[in-house]
Structure 1
Amino acid sequence: MNVLFVCLGNICRSPTAEGVFRRALARAGWQDRVEVDSCGVGDWHLGKAPDPRAQAAARQRGVDISGLRARQLVPEDFMEYDYVLGMDHDNLRAMLAMKPEQARAHVGLLLDFADVSESEVPDPYYGGDDGFEHVLNLLEAAADGLVDHLQRGR
């Protein structure tokens, strides 16, 4: 089983989702059952570490994302991953436009797995620190919901 998280540039939301989901998997004892990665639909930050604000916010919650590096979504990802989950509707549109017809991946929004009123994880890049905290709250809820979903056998 493998899961890919997708945002715009792969330096805020999707690497944070990757780190938070890895922690949720470890708590459930599923860290050896699920492969996890993240990427962006754009190429602006290729090879760069996550935004320092995202790293700091995640670190405060016990999640280290400092070793992650940005990469761009490619059509092959839809063939290799079981779940390709975007952070917002713009990401989802870009993902669906790139998805090959024969792809096996479930393509959707990450917050579909969260018990929250929002459907999108907002991009905190241009905001303040409170935006990163809000993103973490949403991602933690979604990570727990996704682990539950996977444990139930999809």
Structure 2
Amino acid sequence: MIRVLFVCLGNICRSPMAEAYLRDLVSQKGLSERVMIDSAGIGHWHEGKPPYIGTRDKLDEVGISYEGMTARQIKLDDLDNFDFIVAMDHQNYQDILNLREEAPTAKVVRYMDVVDHELTEVPDPYHTGKFDETFDLIKLGAERLLERIMKESKEME
């Protein structure tokens, strides 16, 4: 099984939106038995809380479930227990790499590295209020991200 972890600052906006969207895409493609998706935050502030209302509203609008999702903080074990860790912005990426001195077993990537777009990070809608923009970027990159994950996981075998 391929294990993918999305990471943003608080795990209530971007990373749960990406988790829910990719879970839905994986399900549509019949890959649920092959790909496990989760999300976490750099910080602990929202642990145990559901996705932020703006994220829930957007996912409700497009008919994507976030049932059972609650925020959690990334753990050191995640660096070894996931195959791919996907950071939503440059600071998240650096924070993941700084969790410990030795390199993680997981491949750490930035979400926007797979998206052909002028933006280099997924903007945080908690601060901007632009949940549509965030969703559009996540949607834009999801197919490419899934293709890359599937290809690279075969190469890692």
Both proteins in one fold, TM over 0.5: yes
In 2: Cα distance, 1:85 partner to 1:36 partner: 11
Q: Secondary structure at the match of 2:45?
A: coil
Q: TM (normalized to structure 2)? A: 0.90
CA RMSD of aligned residues (A): 1.4
- Identify the range of structure 1 (112-121 vs 51-60) with the bigger mean alpha-carbon deviation: 112-121
**What amino acid is aligned across from residue 148 of structure 2 in structure 1?**
H
| Aligned match of 2:122 | 121
- Identify the range of structure 1 (100-109 vs 77-86) with the bigger mean alpha-carbon deviation: 100-109
In 1: Cα distance, 2:116 partner to 2:139 partner: 11
| Aligned match of 2:108 | 107
Q: Secondary structure at the match of 2:5?
A: strand
Q: Secondary structure at the match of 1:69?
A: coil
**What amino acid is aligned across from residue 121 of structure 2 in structure 1?**
E
1:29–1:76 Cα change, 3 Å:
same
**What amino acid is aligned across from residue 34 of structure 2 in structure 1?**
R
**Structure 2 unaligned spans of 5+:** none
Deviation at 1:111, TM superposition (A): 1.6
**Structure 1 unaligned spans of 5+:** none
**What amino acid is aligned across from residue 17 of structure 1 in structure 2?**
A
| Aligned match of 1:37 | 38
**Percent identical residues:** 37
- The answer to whether the 8 A contact 2:97-2:103 is kept is no
| Aligned match of 2:61 | 60
1:27 aligns with 2:28: yes
Number of residue pairs matched by the alignment: 152
- Identify the range of structure 1 (24-33 vs 97-106) with the bigger mean alpha-carbon deviation: 97-106
1:132 aligns with 2:108: no
